[in-house]
Amino acid sequence: MIKKAVLPVAGLGTRFLPATKASPKEMLPILDKPLIQYAVEEAVKVGIEEFLFITGKHKRAIEDHFDKAYELEERLKRAGKYDLLEKINCFENLNIAYIRQKEPKGLGDAILCAKPFVKDEAFVVILSDDLIDPDHSVLHEMIKIYEEKKAPVIALEAVPLEEVSRYGIVSGKKIDGYYIVDNLIEKPEPAHAPSNLAIIGRYILTPQIFKYLDSLQPGRGGEIQLTDALKVLLDETVIYGYIIEGKRYDAGEKLGYLKTIVEFALKDTEISYQFVSFLKDKFSNL
Ligand code: UTP
C-alpha cells in the first residue's frame, strides 16, 4: 500500500512573476481554493496518510495554510459561521512534514530531498500546477498498476506536437491499456521528440530513483531533471506509463490558469449561472 506523498513546491514560479515574487505559485487560487489544496485532497482520496512538502524561500504561506488558525477559528465560531470553519479545518488530521530545498535546482533535486522521508517505500509525487479534474482519480488507476507490477508508474497525456518542448516526452509500447516506456526526453524540440506523449505531474516512484538522482548532472535549463533520472532508471526496471482519463489543466502558466478558473467556475453551482450570463453578454458584443 502506498501511504506517502511528496509535493515539490520549491520552484520559482517565474511564469507568474511578479505575483510569485514573495508568495508561492502553489497558493494561487482556483475560485476559493489554492492549487496545493486540490493536490492534497486528491491524495487523501486514495488513502495517502503522510505528506512531505519540498519547500523553499517565500513558501511559508503553504505551511500556514495547512496549520491551525486559532484566531480566525475563534472569530468564525463566535460569528456562528460553521460552514467556513469546516472549510478551514479540513487538514487537522493530516500528517505533514516539510523539508527545504536549499536552491531551486530542478524537480529532480527537489525529489532527492525526500530520500530520508521515503525510506524504503514507494511514494506518490504530485505537481500541484497540473490540476486534474477531481471527478477522475488518476492516482487510483496508477496505484492499481503499481500494486500489480511493483514498478514506477508515470502519468501521460497526448499533447499537440507543437507543445512537446514544454514537457518531458516519452515513447513506449502500448500493452493492455498502459505503456511500457522505452525512452524519455526532457523538453525536446518537436523535430526530435520520440512521440507526443507528455509526462503529467503525477508519478509513483520507488526508492531506486534516489541513487540516480544523487549522481545526476544538470540537464535541460541547467536543472537536475527527474526525467533524466527516470531514463537511466530504465536500465534497472520497467517504467509504466498510464494515459490519464479526464481533463488536466496546466495551471502553472497564465493561459492555462485562466482556462482552469473558467472551467471550474462553469461547474460551480453557486456562481455558474451568473458567470454564464456574464460570458454571454461579453461575447454577444464581439
Ligand atoms: P515548474 O517548472 O512547473 O515550476 O515545476 P516552477 O519552476 O516553479 O515555475 P516556472 O517554470 O519558473 O514558471 C513543477 C513543480 O516542481 C516544483 C515547483 O514548485 C512546481 O510545483 N519545483 C521545481 C521544485 O520544488 N524545485 C525546483 O527546483 C523546481
Placement of cell 503522510 in the chain:
50
Count the domains in the chain. 2
pLDDT in tens, 217-246: 999 999 999 999 999 999 999 999 999 998
Domain that residue 170 falls in: 4-247
Query: What confidence score (pLDDT) does residue 174 get?
Result: 93
If one counts every other C-beta atom within 10 angstroms of the C-beta of residue 56, the result is 18
Examine the pLDDT at 33 and tell me if it is beyond 90: yes
CA separation for the pair 57, 100 (Å, rounded): 8
How many whole angstroms separate alpha carbon 22 and alpha carbon 25? 10
Give yes or no for residue 180 CB within 6 A of ligand 1: no
Atom number, ligand 1, closest to the C-alpha of residue 252: 3
Q: Please tell me the pTM assigned to this model.
A: 0.95
How far is the C-alpha of 95 from the C-alpha of 48, rounded, in Å?
A: 10
Q: Specify whether 216 is located in the same domain as 266.
A: no
Assess whether 236 and 115 both reside in one domain: yes
Q: Is 22 exposed, middle or buried (0-12, 13-18, 19+ CB in 10 A)?
A: exposed
- Mark whether 240 and 281 lie in a shared domain: no
69 lies in the same domain as 129:
yes
Q: Which residue has the cell 481533463?
A: 247
- Cα 101 to its chain centre, rounded Å, is 17
Spatial contact of 245 and 254, defined as CB atoms under 8 Å apart: no
283 in the same domain as 174: no
Residue 123 has pLDDT above 80, yes or no: yes
235 and 280 housed in the same domain: no
Q: Which single residue is written with the C-alpha cell 506536437?
A: 161
Question: What confidence score (pLDDT) does residue 46 get?
Answer: 95
Q: What is the CATH number of the domain that holds 113?
A: 3.90.550.10
pLDDT at 135 > cutoff 90? no
Q: What is the pLDDT of residue 89?
A: 84
Q: Give me the pLDDT at residue 284, please.
A: 87
pLDDT tens track for 182-223: 999 999 999 999 999 999 999 999 999 999 999 999 999 999
For position 136, what pLDDT does the model report? Answer: 83
Beta strands in 77-177 (DSSP E): 95-100, 123-126, 130-132, 153-158, 168-175
Amino acid at position 12, single letter: L
17 with 90, same domain? yes
Check whether residue 217 and residue 270 sit in a common domain: no
- 202 CB less than 6 Å from ligand 1? no
**Coil/strand/helix, residue 2:** coil
Task: Kindly state if the Cβ of 105 falls inside 6 Å of ligand 1.
Answer: yes
Percent of the chain past pLDDT 70, that is, above it, reads 100
What is the pLDDT of the chain when averaged over all its residues? 94
- Dist. CA 127 → ligand 1 center (Å): 8
Asked if residue 24 has its Cβ within 6 Å of ligand 1, the reply is no
The predicted structure's pLDDT at residue 118: 95
Which positions ≥6 away from 61 have C-beta within 8 Å? 23, 24, 27
Asked whether the beta carbons of 272 and 266 are under 8 A apart, the reply is yes
204 burial via Cβ count (<10 Å: 0-12, 13-18, 19+): buried
Q: Are residues 277 and 231 in the same domain?
A: no
Res. 137: pLDDT tops 90: no
Helix axes 138-149, 35-45, angle to 10 degrees: 50
| Mean pLDDT value of segment 14-21 | 95
Check pLDDT > 90 for residue 58.
no
Domain check: are 263 and 285 in the same one? yes
Q: Does 106 sit in the ligand 1 pocket, CB within 6 Å? A: yes
Q: Which of 25-29, 84-88, 208-212, 265-269 has the lowest mean pLDDT?
A: 84-88
How far is ligand 1, taken at its centre, from the CA of residue 14, in Å? Answer: 9
Model pLDDT, residue 93 = 82
Q: Based on the domain organization, do 265 and 169 belong to the same domain?
A: no
pLDDT at 1: 87
Residues 174 and 64 in one domain: yes
pLDDT number for residue 66: 94
How far does residue 266's CA lie from ligand 1's centre (Å)? 28
- Work out the percent of the chain whose per-residue pLDDT is above 90: 90
